[in-house]
């Protein structure tokens, strides 16, 4: 290895170690050399375009220094500064570039192949889990910050709402029900079987507490019949109907969301112990990808809304560095 | 929904899960056979072991023995065949005229002058050929060359065959041969992938062989009635016909911009760093150049031996007839070899080894010629080997060597090697022979000795090709030179980068630099003055690193931090100093304003005291039992102190905390507990730790604690994995924990479980654990066992493919798939991917130095060329005789085949194949995989749902 390569590698490792600050040192030690080895330095001058809307999404970039602006028609621009990661939203959502990325000043980036990132997550479940939970918590915080915002499409409807009114749900009904939940929608069938088999059915009378604020948040709840209303301080009440996951994609987080939920009417739910969900994710990486995709989609919607609101005062918002 | 079936599902959930998991991937042979027997009729002969004959047949079919030409390939193959047929036919006709005229008009010794002239001119011609291709594209360049050859041949025909004209004819023939053939094969390389080349180059090359036979036969027939010069017109006519035919050839879309092509063979979807195109950085190109150089010299010397022997034994008047007949016979042999032998040899021994067949046989012939002093018969036989194999087996094998090269490298390398190098070697060899002849020492025996030496060297180079051939793929795969696990040395530039990072105003950058140094065990490079840093985060991390090191120069600065305003920094300082035995620091900390700092110091000192029973220590006892939040914090700090002080007397304290219901199960709590256990190294904790593996928080720390307890812990883990009563969640995490031990014993145990474990998911975890241990530790695995498992998974993949195809295809008029059937198809698809992934993981274990993951990625790619290269890599990697079946299975799974065709190819491995949806569903309802069986039974009741 040439001297230049060696020092370049080291600089990348230092950068990555800084970027991952907050992870346990052993995770950092494990991940940084793996990521750094295939990174490529990219230097842009102000005004240079990194990628254009419609380009294929095969990699993402760490911004070492400088600034990048991501723009598209009809949505507020996103601006990313030093120690941020760009391009990952499109990758997670498995789509072509939705914005054009332009350097607003001289910028140094590190290009990383998407497959390296996915391989890393697949090989290290602890990091994957932190990523999914972090994303879920970020979505929750954005929702709280936006207060009365309801996403344009409203709570996502589940295409499968034909669960029988009475009697236990058959395994296949459970699978169809779960397949309609965005968090699980693109998980493998085997993952759905695992989740469906381990889920528990529960009933609640109208007004009965389904989730108590401050209690361990150890279950994910899918509404079978009826509805569940979530109350959070400072935010508008949200009601989740048949086929929907209470709290939406935020339910992926095991953190106490500081909310309570009550049955809006006589309600039947399917409860998935979160540990079972994590186990299924560990066993089936596709479930993790499905979860990340659902969370990324929701996050994008929220960040855009946040940008729209900020646009009233300024041209762009600075998106949280890690998407 | 059928309620009764739902109840059955609920009741049998656990049982089904176990059974399902058992069969999530392929089962060991004996178990499989036993489980199949009760459901014999329904499953037919599925899963039975194919007979050796069937497997050979299957392998043959997979490798292109049957249906070598697939849908969509017939036209380009037929066109290529015809082009080569005409091209070689024309050239053979020209050669016959050339040889007859030359040896009639000039002595054989003049051949050397011609060779030298050819060499000089080939530089010019090769350069022109390359420019022509760059300017007009490969096909148009070939058309242009053919037209020029036709015009020049007609012009020569119009001249009186004086010695000079004959010399010119020889040179023209040589140049045409030198340029046309490489141009054609470069065009073919552009049209086909390496996997296609393996199947199709044989049939295409047979066009050349048939053309050779046709050309020689035509020449022989014409010569019985017409003068030799008439052959020139025939050759010119054939050149023109070839050019016309080429105009109808359809080429890939990128033909128009040949300079723009640069393949990144294994990463079509990722812009990888561009491979170097400098030929001097391509070791494989060098090896091929050496191979071609030696082969050129050898066949030239042999040709000289052959012609001089013929000239000395046969009357000049009969030479024309002799050459025509001999070449016709030779081409007939070549045709037989091409049609019946070449393909089999390439399939059986692989591309790299196939290049060694011809030189080995020539070597034997050369020995015979040498021993007999250049007698006619052995010389003719040796030349027959040359003629029989050069344009068939050797041509195909050599052309296949070029295919994995990046396009730009191949274009340049082939132009230089086949034209310039080959002609230069011819010139040098000819000059050498000329010199020896002039010196009067070039006896037939001497010539035979030269041929012998050259063939021996050629054989040796061919034998050494496999490794660099694999390297071509490896380079495309590696995309970087860093070997994980190898420590990156810190040079001046790297040191500068580190110093810069440590001087950063951003604490995160500084901590990152500290971490990078600690990872490399270069803590000594961290200046003690870092403890003057403003950031608490930096101080905390630096103290952690210093505390764990053997350095002492930081201690005075560390003591200064005992009065730092931030509690976490003071605790870090006390801990670091305590680890280095600075008693004064501990004494000072007992008077700290923070109760937590005090607690740590007191506990640490107590652990260092002479008291026998720590549980009754006046300061410790209340901490163990206090139930308020402060008590919880004390227990945490107690565990921290125990981890730092590591006194065996603390074992009872840790046990008490571990069993206490008041102690939490958070990540931090379990991690602190695990670290204390790790420090104490007491086997009494082993059962607790094993059971704790089933819980996610702190699992990694628990693993480290178990590894620290060495053999007794390993024994306990082995026993727990073998015990079917062990909680399944615990069992699934045992293999990885065992892998962390990194010993040969751990590896051997996992190897055994890989074959014998009945729970499919646990077996998958065993596989992952084995992958981890093999990648991180110097352990040995039984490669044959691993490859047997890979084979089972590939067969399972094909079995699932067969059912999926049958369900998806249905029968004419059958209804669309019901939702449950669609779920079943998806499930089959998931399991197909799993079995393929497992096969590749197993291959990675068997071949740890190879980046099999990239090969797997390429095998799943949508890019045809990437998949083709993956297949070629696997073919070369699995070149052993015992790996033939595995090689064929991988080829079948990776190859670019329609699923139905893949299933047909797998017939010998699968036995009965379901013909339609009904048969597939009937079979799957009794499938050994419980999940598949369960979904297969749902179709009727659920029709129309959703």
Q: Find out whether B455 and B362 touch, Cβ atoms under 8 Å.
A: yes
In this complex, the residue of B7, B269, B827 whose CB is nearest that of residue A189 is B827
> What is the distance between the alpha carbons of residues A150 and B192, in angstroms, rounded to a whole number?
55
Give tens-digit pLDDT for B50-93: 444 544 444 444 444 445 666 677 788 888 888 888 888 888 88
> Which DSSP letter does residue B66 get?
S
Q: How much is the average pLDDT of B621-629? A: 71
pLDDT at B260: 31
Inter-chain touch A188–B830, beta carbons under 8 Å: yes
User: Dihedral of CA A310/A313/A318/A320: which sign?
Assistant: negative
Residue A101: CB atoms within 10 Å: 24
pLDDT of A14 over the 50 cut: yes
> What is the distance between the alpha carbons of residues A18 and A35, in angstroms, rounded to a whole number?
13
pLDDT of A182 over the 50 cut: yes
Please, which residues bridge with residue A271 across strands?
A200, A221
Q: How much is the average pLDDT of B854-863? A: 81
pLDDT of A318 over the 60 cut: no
Give tens-digit pLDDT for B278-322: 555 567 888 888 898 999 999 989 988 888 888 888 877 777 778
Rounded to 5°, angle at Cα B558 from B554 and B563: 160
B457 or B47: which carries more pLDDT confidence?
B457
Q: How much is the average pLDDT of A103-131? A: 85
Residue A206: CB atoms within 10 Å: 12
> What is the distance between the alpha carbons of residues B944 and B946, in angstroms, rounded to a whole number?
7
User: How many contiguous H segments (helices) and E segments (strands) does chain B have?
Assistant: 47, 0
Inter-chain touch A14–B497, beta carbons under 8 Å: yes
Picking from B913, B910, B904, the residue whose alpha carbon sits closest to that of residue B70 is B904
A11, A14, A23, best to mutate vs chain B, most B CBs in 10 Å: A14
- Going by C-beta distance under 8 Å and a sequence separation of 6 or more, which residues neighbour residue A13? A32, A33, A36, B512, B516
Inter-chain touch A172–B488, beta carbons under 8 Å: no
Q: Is B835 on the interface with A (CB under 8 A)?
A: no
Token pair of A231, please?
A: 């109350």
Q: Is A186 on the interface with B (CB under 8 A)?
A: no
Picking from B665, B657, B713, the residue whose alpha carbon sits closest to that of residue B689 is B713
Chain A: give the shortest CA distance to residue B946, in Å: 6
Inter-chain touch B498–A14, beta carbons under 8 Å: yes
> What is the distance between the alpha carbons of residues B873 and B847, in angstroms, rounded to a whole number?
13
Q: How much is the average pLDDT of B767-779? A: 88
Phi first, then psi, for residue B725 (nearest 5°) are -80, -15
Cα atoms in the Cβ-side hemisphere of radius 13 Å centred on B600 = 30
Give tens-digit pLDDT for B818-845: 888 888 999 999 999 989 999 999 998 9
pLDDT at A220: 93
B415 or B490: which carries more pLDDT confidence?
B415
Give tens-digit pLDDT for B323-363: 778 877 887 888 788 777 877 787 777 778 888 999 999 99
Where does the pLDDT of residue B23 fall: very low under 50, low under 70, confident under 90, or very high at 90 and above?
very low
Inter-chain touch A18–B509, beta carbons under 8 Å: yes
Where does the pLDDT of residue B478 fall: very low under 50, low under 70, confident under 90, or very high at 90 and above?
very low
Give tens-digit pLDDT for A55-92: 888 888 999 889 999 999 888 898 998 888 898 889 88
Rounded to 5°, angle at Cα A119 from A113 and A124: 135
Q: How much is the average pLDDT of B710-715? A: 94
> What is the distance between the alpha carbons of residues B875 and B473, in angstroms, rounded to a whole number?
12
pLDDT at B481: 32
Give tens-digit pLDDT for A231-273: 877 677 888 888 899 988 888 888 877 788 999 999 999 999 9
Please, where are the H alpha helices in B681-782?
A: 686-692, 699-708, 710-722, 728-741, 744-756, 760-776
Q: How much is the average pLDDT of B738-759? A: 92
Where does the pLDDT of residue B744 fall: very low under 50, low under 70, confident under 90, or very high at 90 and above?
very high
pLDDT at B656: 78
> What is the distance between the alpha carbons of residues A319 and A2, in angstroms, rounded to a whole number?
38
Q: Which residue in the block uniquely carries the two structure tokens 């047979």?
A: B206
Distances (CA, A) of B214 to A88, B184, B228, B235: 62, 19, 16, 12
Concatenated DSSP letters for B817-851? PPHHHHHHHHHHHHHHHHHHHHHHHHHHHHTTTS-
pLDDT at B270: 36
Picking from B285, B294, B289, the residue whose alpha carbon sits closest to that of residue B420 is B289
Please, where are the H alpha helices in B159-282?
A: 163-191, 194-223, 230-246
Q: Find out whether A271 and A202 touch, Cβ atoms under 8 Å.
A: yes
Please, which residues bridge with residue A204 across strands?
A267
Q: How much is the average pLDDT of A264-293? A: 91
> What is the distance between the alpha carbons of residues B704 and B681, in angstroms, rounded to a whole number?
11
pLDDT of A147 over the 60 cut: yes
- Going by C-beta distance under 8 Å and a sequence separation of 6 or more, which residues neighbour residue B432? none
Q: How much is the average pLDDT of A170-192? A: 89
Where does the pLDDT of residue B492 fall: very low under 50, low under 70, confident under 90, or very high at 90 and above?
low
pLDDT of B244 over the 50 cut: yes
pLDDT at B277: 45
Q: Is A285 on the interface with B (CB under 8 A)?
A: no
Kindly list the residues from chain B whose CB atom is less than 8 angstroms away from the CB atom of residue A164: 1
Residue of B nearest to A36 (CA): B482
pLDDT at A323: 36
pLDDT of B476 over the 60 cut: no
A51, A87, A171, best to mutate vs chain B, most B CBs in 10 Å: A171
Q: Which residue in the block uniquely carries the two structure tokens 């379901």?
A: B914
Where does the pLDDT of residue B31 fall: very low under 50, low under 70, confident under 90, or very high at 90 and above?
very low
Q: Which residue in the block uniquely carries the two structure tokens 């505390």?
A: B547
What letters, b where the CB count within 10 A reaches 16 and e where it falls short, cover A116-153? bbbbbbebbbbbbbbbbbbbbbbbbebbbebeebebee
Inter-chain touch A14–B700, beta carbons under 8 Å: no
Q: Find out whether B643 and B701 touch, Cβ atoms under 8 Å.
A: no
Of A209-218, B720-729, B790-799, the range with the lowest mean pLDDT is A209-218
Distances (CA, A) of B940 to A117, B547, B810, B819, B906: 43, 68, 15, 11, 30
3-state secondary structure B97-118: HHHHHHHHHCCHHHHHHHHHHH
Q: Is A188 on the interface with B (CB under 8 A)?
A: yes
pLDDT at A268: 92
> What is the distance between the alpha carbons of residues B166 and B105, in angstroms, rounded to a whole number?
8
Number of inter-chain CB pairs under 8 A, A vs B: 145
Inter-chain touch A278–B696, beta carbons under 8 Å: yes
In this complex, the residue of B270, B827, B938 whose CB is nearest that of residue A115 is B270
> What is the distance between the alpha carbons of residues A209 and A278, in angstroms, rounded to a whole number?
25
Question: Which residues of A, range 123-182, sit inside 8 Å of B by Cβ?
Answer: 126, 159-160, 162, 164, 167-173, 175-176
Inter-chain touch A126–B700, beta carbons under 8 Å: yes
In this complex, the residue of A32, A59, A189 whose CB is nearest that of residue B830 is A189
Token pair of B760, please?
A: 């499919």
pLDDT at B611: 64
Inter-chain touch A171–B827, beta carbons under 8 Å: no
Kindly list the residues from chain A whose CB atom is less than 8 angstroms away from the CB atom of residue B7: 168
Would residue A74 be called left, alpha or beta, if left means φ above 0 and alpha means ψ between -120 and 50 degrees?
Answer: left
Question: Which residues of A, range 247-266, sit inside 8 Å of B by Cβ?
Answer: none
- Going by C-beta distance under 8 Å and a sequence separation of 6 or more, which residues neighbour residue B619? B602, B603, B606
Where does the pLDDT of residue B213 fall: very low under 50, low under 70, confident under 90, or very high at 90 and above?
confident
Where does the pLDDT of residue A160 fall: very low under 50, low under 70, confident under 90, or very high at 90 and above?
low
The average confidence (pLDDT) of chain B is 78
SS3 assignment, position A113 = strand
Where does the pLDDT of residue B658 fall: very low under 50, low under 70, confident under 90, or very high at 90 and above?
confident
Q: Is B814 on the interface with A (CB under 8 A)?
A: no
Residue of B nearest to A28 (CA): B515
Kindly list the residues from chain B whose CB atom is less than 8 angstroms away from the CB atom of residue A167: 3
Where does the pLDDT of residue A158 fall: very low under 50, low under 70, confident under 90, or very high at 90 and above?
low
Q: How much is the average pLDDT of B495-501? A: 76
What letters, b where the CB count within 10 A reaches 16 and e where it falls short, cover B798-836? bbbbbbbbbbbbbeeeeeebbbbbbbbbbbbbbbbebbb
Of A102-106, B130-134, B171-175, the range with the lowest mean pLDDT is B130-134
Where does the pLDDT of residue B663 fall: very low under 50, low under 70, confident under 90, or very high at 90 and above?
low
> What is the distance between the alpha carbons of residues A176 and A192, in angstroms, rounded to a whole number?
9
pLDDT of A313 over the 70 cut: no
Find the distance separating the first CA and the last CA of chain B, reported in whole Å: 11
Please, which residues bridge with residue A69 across strands?
A79, A102
Kindly list the residues from chain A whose CB atom is less than 8 angstroms away from the CB atom of residue B513: 14, 17
B160 or B39: which carries more pLDDT confidence?
B160
Token pair of B64, please?
A: 């292109």
Residue B113, burial from CB neighbour count under 10 angstroms (0-12, 13-18, 19+)? middle
Where does the pLDDT of residue B661 fall: very low under 50, low under 70, confident under 90, or very high at 90 and above?
low
Chain A: give the shortest CA distance to residue B259, in Å: 23
- Going by C-beta distance under 8 Å and a sequence separation of 6 or more, which residues neighbour residue A311? A76, A317
User: What proportion of chain B, given as a percentage, has pLDDT over 90?
Assistant: 14
Of A100-104, A198-202, B717-721, B908-912, the range with the lowest mean pLDDT is B908-912
pLDDT at B664: 67
Reported pTM: 0.67
Q: Find out whether A199 and A174 touch, Cβ atoms under 8 Å.
A: yes
Q: Find out whether B911 and B46 touch, Cβ atoms under 8 Å.
A: yes
In this complex, the residue of B481, B498, B831 whose CB is nearest that of residue A10 is B498
Q: Is B267 on the interface with A (CB under 8 A)?
A: yes
- Going by C-beta distance under 8 Å and a sequence separation of 6 or more, which residues neighbour residue B183? B129, B133, B138, B141, B142, B145
pLDDT at B364: 92
B496 or B538: which carries more pLDDT confidence?
B538
Distances (CA, A) of B103 to B98, B107, B155, B480: 8, 6, 21, 57
- Going by C-beta distance under 8 Å and a sequence separation of 6 or more, which residues neighbour residue B556? none
For helices B819-846 and B783-809, the axis angle rounded to 10 degrees is 160
pLDDT of B582 over the 70 cut: yes
The average confidence (pLDDT) of chain A is 83
pLDDT of B167 over the 60 cut: yes
> What is the distance between the alpha carbons of residues B663 and B646, in angstroms, rounded to a whole number?
20
Residue of A nearest to B521 (CA): A29
pLDDT of A129 over the 80 cut: yes
In this complex, the residue of A17, A159, A169 whose CB is nearest that of residue B516 is A17
In this complex, the residue of A9, A172, A279 whose CB is nearest that of residue B1 is A172
pLDDT at B255: 41
Kindly list the residues from chain B whose CB atom is less than 8 angstroms away from the CB atom of residue A283: 761
Picking from A241, A208, A238, A206, the residue whose alpha carbon sits closest to that of residue A224 is A241
In this complex, the residue of B269, B480, B827 whose CB is nearest that of residue A38 is B480
pLDDT of B876 over the 90 cut: no
In this complex, the residue of B488, B509, B826 whose CB is nearest that of residue A189 is B826
> What is the distance between the alpha carbons of residues B88 and B94, in angstroms, rounded to a whole number?
10
Do β-strands A238-240 and A84-86 pair in parallel, antiparallel, or remain unpaired? unpaired
Question: Which residues of B, range 874-933, sit inside 8 Å of A by Cβ?
Answer: 931
């Amino acid at each position: 290895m040439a001297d230049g390569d060696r020092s370049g590698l080291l600089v990348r490792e230092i950068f990555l170690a800084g970027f991952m600050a907050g992870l346990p040192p052993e995770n950092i030690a494990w991940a940084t050399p793996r990521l750094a080895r295939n990174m490529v330095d990219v230097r842009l001058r102000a005004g240079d375009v990194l990628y254009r809307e419609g380009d294929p999404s095969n990699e993402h970039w760490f911004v070492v220094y400088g600034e990048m602006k991501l723009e598209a028609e009809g949505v507020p621009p996103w601006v990313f500064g030093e120690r941020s990661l760009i391009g990952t939203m499109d990758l997670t959502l498995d789509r072509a570039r939705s914005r054009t990325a332009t350097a607003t000043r001289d910028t140094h980036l590190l290009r990383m192949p998407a497959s390296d990132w996915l391989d890393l997550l697949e090989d290290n479940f602890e990091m994957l889990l932190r990523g999914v939970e972090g994303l879920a918590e970020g979505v929750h915080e954005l929702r709280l910050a936006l207060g009365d915002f309801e996403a344009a499409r409203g709570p996502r409807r589940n295409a499968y709402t034909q669960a029988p009114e009475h009697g236990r749900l058959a395994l296949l009904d459970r699978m169809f029900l779960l397949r309609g939940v965005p968090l699980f929608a693109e998980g493998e069938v085997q993952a759905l079987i695992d989740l469906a088999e381990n889920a528990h059915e529960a009933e609640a009378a109208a007004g009965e507490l389904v989730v108590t604020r401050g209690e361990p948040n150890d279950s994910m709840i899918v509404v079978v019949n009826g509805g569940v209303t979530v109350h959070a301080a400072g935010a508008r009440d949200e009601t989740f109907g048949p086929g929907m996951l209470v709290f939406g994609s935020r339910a992926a987080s095991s953190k106490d969301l500081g909310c309570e939920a009550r049955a809006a009417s006589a309600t039947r739910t399917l409860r998935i112990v979160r540990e079972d969900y994590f186990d299924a994710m560990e066993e089936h990486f596709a479930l993790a990808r499905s979860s990340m995709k659902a969370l990324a989609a929701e996050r994008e919607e929220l960040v855009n809304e946040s940008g729209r609101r900020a646009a009233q005062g300024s041209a762009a918002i600075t998106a949280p560095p890690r998407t | 929904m059928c309620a009764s079936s739902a109840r059955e599902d609920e009741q049998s959930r656990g049982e089904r899960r176990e059974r399902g998991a058992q069969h999530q991937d392929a089962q060991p042979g004996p178990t499989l056979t036993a489980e199949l027997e009760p459901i014999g009729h329904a499953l037919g002969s599925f899963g039975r072991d194919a007979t050796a004959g069937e497997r050979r047949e299957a392998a043959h079919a997979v490798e292109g023995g049957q249906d070598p030409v697939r849908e969509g390939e017939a036209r380009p193959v037929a066109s290529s065949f015809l082009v080569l047929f005409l091209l070689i036919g024309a050239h053979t006709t020209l050669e016959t005229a050339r040889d007859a005229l030359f040896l009639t008009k000039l002595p054989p010794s003049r051949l050397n002058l011609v060779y030298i002239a050819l060499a000089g001119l080939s530089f010019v011609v090769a350069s022109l050929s390359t420019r022509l291709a760059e300017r007009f594209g490969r096909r148009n360049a070939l058309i242009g060359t053919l037209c020029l050859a036709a015009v020049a041949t007609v012009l020569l025909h119009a001249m009186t065959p004086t010695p000079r004209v004959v010399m010119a004819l020889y040179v023209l023939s040589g140049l045409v041969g030198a340029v046309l053939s490489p141009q054609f094969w470069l065009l073919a390389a552009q049209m086909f992938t390496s996997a296609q080349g393996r199947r199709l180059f044989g049939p295409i090359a047979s066009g050349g062989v048939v053309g050779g036979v046709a050309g020689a036969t035509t020449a022989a027939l014409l010569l019985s009635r017409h003068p030799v010069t008439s052959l020139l017109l025939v050759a010119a006519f054939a050149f023109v016909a070839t050019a016309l035919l080429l105009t109808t050839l359809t080429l890939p879309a990128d033909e128009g911009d040949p300079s723009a092509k640069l393949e990144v063979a294994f990463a079509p979807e990722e812009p990888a760093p561009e491979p170097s195109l400098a030929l001097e950085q391509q070791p494989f190109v060098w090896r091929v150049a050496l191979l071609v150089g030696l082969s050129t010299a050898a066949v030239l010397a042999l040709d000289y031996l052959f012609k001089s022997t013929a000239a000395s034994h046969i009357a000049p008047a009969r030479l024309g007839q002799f050459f025509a007949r001999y070449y016709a016979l030779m081409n007939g042999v070549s045709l037989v070899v091409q049609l019946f032998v070449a393909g089999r040899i390439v399939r059986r021994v692989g591309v790299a080894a196939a290049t060694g067949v011809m030189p080995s046989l020539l070597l034997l012939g050369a020995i015979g010629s040498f021993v007999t002093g250049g007698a006619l018969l052995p010389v003719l036989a040796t030349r027959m080997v040359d003629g029989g194999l050069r344009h068939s087996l050797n041509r195909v094998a050599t052309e296949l060597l070029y295919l994995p090269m990046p396009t730009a490298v191949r274009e340049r390398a082939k132009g230089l090697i086949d034209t310039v190098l080959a002609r230069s070697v011819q010139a040098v060899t000819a000059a050498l022979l000329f010199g020896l002849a002039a010196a009067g020492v070039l006896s037939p025996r001497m010539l035979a000795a030269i041929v012998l030496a050259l063939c021996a060297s050629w054989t040796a180079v061919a034998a050494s090709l496999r490794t660099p051939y694999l390297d071509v793929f490896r380079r495309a795969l590696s995309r970087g030179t860093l070997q994980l696990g190898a420590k990156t040395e810190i040079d001046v530039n790297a040191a500068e980068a580190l110093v810069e990072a440590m001087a950063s105003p951003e604490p995160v950058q500084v901590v990152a630099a500290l971490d990078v140094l600690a990872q490399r065990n270069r803590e000594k490079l961290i200046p003690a003055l870092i403890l003057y840093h403003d950031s608490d985060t930096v101080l905390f991390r630096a103290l952690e690193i210093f505390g764990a090191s053997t350095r002492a120069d930081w201690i005075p600065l560390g003591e200064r931090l005992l009065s730092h305003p931030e509690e976490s920094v003071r605790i870090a300082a006390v801990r670091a100093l305590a680890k280095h035995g600075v008693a004064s620091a501990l004494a000072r900390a007992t008077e700290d304003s923070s109760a937590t700092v005090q607690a740590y110091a007191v506990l640490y000192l107590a652990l260092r005291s002479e008291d026998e029973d720590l549980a009754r220590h006046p300061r410790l006892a209340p901490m163990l039992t206090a139930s308020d939040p402060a008590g919880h914090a004390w227990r945490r700090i107690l565990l921290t102190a125990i981890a730092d002080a590591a006194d065996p007397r603390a074992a009872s304290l840790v046990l008490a905390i571990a069993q206490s219901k008041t102690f939490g199960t958070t990540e931090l709590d379990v991690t602190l507990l695990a670290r204390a256990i790790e420090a104490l190294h007491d086997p009494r904790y082993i059962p607790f730790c094993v059971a704790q593996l089933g819980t996610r928080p702190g699992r990694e720390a628990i693993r480290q604690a178990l590894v620290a307890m060495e053999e007794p812990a390993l024994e306990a883990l082995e026993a727990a994995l073998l015990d079917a009563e062990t909680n399944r969640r615990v069992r699934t995490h045992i293999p990885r924990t065992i892998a962390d031990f990194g010993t040969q014993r751990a590896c051997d145990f996992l190897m055994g479980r890989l074959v014998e474990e009945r729970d499919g998911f646990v077996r998958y975890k065993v596989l992952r654990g084995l992958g981890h241990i093999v990648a991180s530790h110097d352990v040995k695995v039984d490669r044959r066992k691993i490859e047997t498992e890979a084979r089972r998974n590939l067969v399972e993949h094909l079995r699932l493919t067969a059912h999926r195809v049958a369900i998806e295809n249905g029968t004419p008029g059958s209804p669309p798939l019901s939702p449950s059937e669609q779920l079943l198809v998806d499930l089959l698809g998931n399991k197909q991917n799993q079995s393929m992934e497992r096969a590749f993981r197993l291959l990675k274990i068997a071949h740890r130095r190879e980046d099999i993951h990239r090969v797997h990625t390429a095998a799943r790619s949508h890019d045809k060329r990437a998949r083709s290269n993956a297949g070629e890599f696997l073919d070369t990697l699995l070149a052993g005789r015992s790996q033939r079946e595995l090689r064929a299975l991988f080829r079948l799974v990776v190859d670019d085949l329609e699923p139905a065709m893949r299933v047909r190819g797998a017939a010998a491995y699968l036995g009965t194949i379901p013909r339609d949806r009904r048969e597939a569903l009937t079979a799957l309802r009794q499938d050994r995989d419980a999940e598949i069986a369960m979904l297969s039974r749902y179709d009727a009741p659920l029709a129309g749902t959703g």
